[in-house]
Amino acid sequence: MNVYKASIDSDELKKLSVLRPWGTLAALALDWAVIAAAIVVSCHFGGIWLYLAAVAVIAGRMHGLGVLMHEAAHFRFLKNREMADAVADLFMAWPIMATVDGYRQNHLAHHQHTNTDKDPDWVVKLGKAAYTFPLAVRVLTLNVLGYLAAINSLRDLAQILPRVSGVKQSARYKLTRLGYYLGAATLITMLGIWKSFLLYWIVPYMTLFFLFLYVRGVAEHFGSMDYGEELGSTRTVVPYFWERCFFAPHNINLHIEHHLFPGVPFYNLPKLSAALMRDETYRTKAHVTRGYSTGVLRECLAAAKLPGFAPP
């Protein structure tokens, strides 16, 4: 792979890498506030269409929690790493059945060996119909329906859990996490809200949440990519406003920028992108696509097969 030597001022990069914990905490609070608001509005006004809208909104904010967990996995949250992991587990990772450290071990390997046989995210997708491009419309349709029926979400869980379960965790950590879930179950029982929990957490989680993860995962590294070039093997997407709510929370769409400089926190990625765009090589070779529902979809349905390489 041809490695791109980014042209960016070292002082500017240093400033962009400075942590602003309140930026992450504000994003976290907003995600939870939107989830709460969606539930309250749906319960108060009722109706199937408002409920379905609430499911989509909640799944989008669950995705947001996952992206913030991703920030914590890169140590881009608090300077105190132990405290950062604790807060991230409680409010970002555990609610979506993940752990910061488990995700970290898998994800940092992805960064170190991107799109190679040592990349755990890449290897698990090799040969799978959902990641074979160009993608047939029939396969795309069945895949979306599979997520809406929760079948594909169960499949994805089965793929993810073995990749993160090998992380060694102390007995204290395991007991604390078990206590977290038992405490949540006890509270739900005492409040008598199991039906609401099912409708407003399990349904969004097992359907649209995993669909949104799939769309983003494809957009980041698949479909019409040039795997021989660093700037061509990862995609940055310029999303439409509504797409940010579901597929690209917290600037996760700026993925080339993140791979080049993972030390830059999400709230500074737009500034990093603007700085990189001043470099002619980056500006002309970076794989930047407009829209998940337009550009990415078009590229995946009509993905070019590169000579000598058969992408998964």
Q: Which residue has the higher pLDDT, 31 or 308?
A: 31
With bands split at pLDDT 50, 70 and 90, how would you rate the model's confidence at 5? confident
pLDDT mean over 104-113:
93
Residue 15's contacts (CB-CB under 8 Å, 6 or more residues apart) are none
Query: Residue 253: which of 233, 273, 227, 276 has the closest Cα?
Result: 273
Quickly tell me which residue has 């950062």 as its tokens. 84
Predicted pLDDT at 4 = 86
Residue 195 domain flag = yes
Residue 2 domain flag = no
With bands split at pLDDT 50, 70 and 90, how would you rate the model's confidence at 173? very high
Count Cβ neighbours within 10 Å for each residue of 176-206 and write b for 16 or more, e otherwise.
ebeeeeeeeeeebeeeeeeeebebbbebbbb
Residues spanned by the domain of 18 = 10-301
Encoding tokens for residue 144? 């979306």
Give pTM, 2 decimals.
0.94
**Rounded Cα distance, 99 and 149, in Å:** 25
Residue 23 domain flag = yes
Predicted pLDDT at 306 = 42
Q: Helix (H) and strand (E) counts for the chain?
A: 17, 2
**Rounded Cα distance, 64 and 250, in Å:** 7
Find which of 6-10, 12-16, 226-230 is predicted with most confidence, using mean pLDDT.
12-16
Residue 93 domain flag = yes
Does position 261 have pLDDT exceeding 60, yes or no? Answer: yes
Does position 302 have pLDDT exceeding 60, yes or no? Answer: yes
Predicted pLDDT at 263 = 97
What's the total number of domains in the chain?
Answer: 1
Digit-coded pLDDT (tens) for 241-257: 999 999 999 999 999 99
The answer to whether 73 touches 164, Cβ cutoff 8 Å, is no
Residue 306 domain flag = no
Does position 158 have pLDDT exceeding 50, yes or no? Answer: yes
Predicted pLDDT at 165 = 62
63-72, 168-177, 183-192, 233-242: the lowest-pLDDT one: 168-177
The percent of residues in the chain predicted with pLDDT above 70, rounded, is 96
C-alpha distances (whole Å) from 40 to each of 44, 45, 58, 151, 185 are 6, 9, 12, 28, 20
**Rounded Cα distance, 286 and 293, in Å:** 20
Residue 310 domain flag = no
Estimate to the nearest angstrom the gap between the alpha carbon of 2 and the chain centroid: 26
What secondary structure, in 3-state letters, does 172-226 show?
A: HHHHHHHHHHHHHHHHHHHHCCHHHHHHHHHHHHHHHHHHHHHHHHHHHHCCCCC
Does position 303 have pLDDT exceeding 70, yes or no? Answer: no
Q: Which residue has the higher pLDDT, 125 or 186?
A: 186
Burial of 137 (0-12, 13-18, 19+ CB in 10 A): exposed
Digit-coded pLDDT (tens) for 70-103: 999 999 999 999 999 999 999 999 999 999 999 9
With bands split at pLDDT 50, 70 and 90, how would you rate the model's confidence at 1? confident
Query: Residue 13: which of 278, 273, 272 has the closest Cα?
Result: 272
Does position 54 have pLDDT exceeding 90, yes or no? Answer: yes
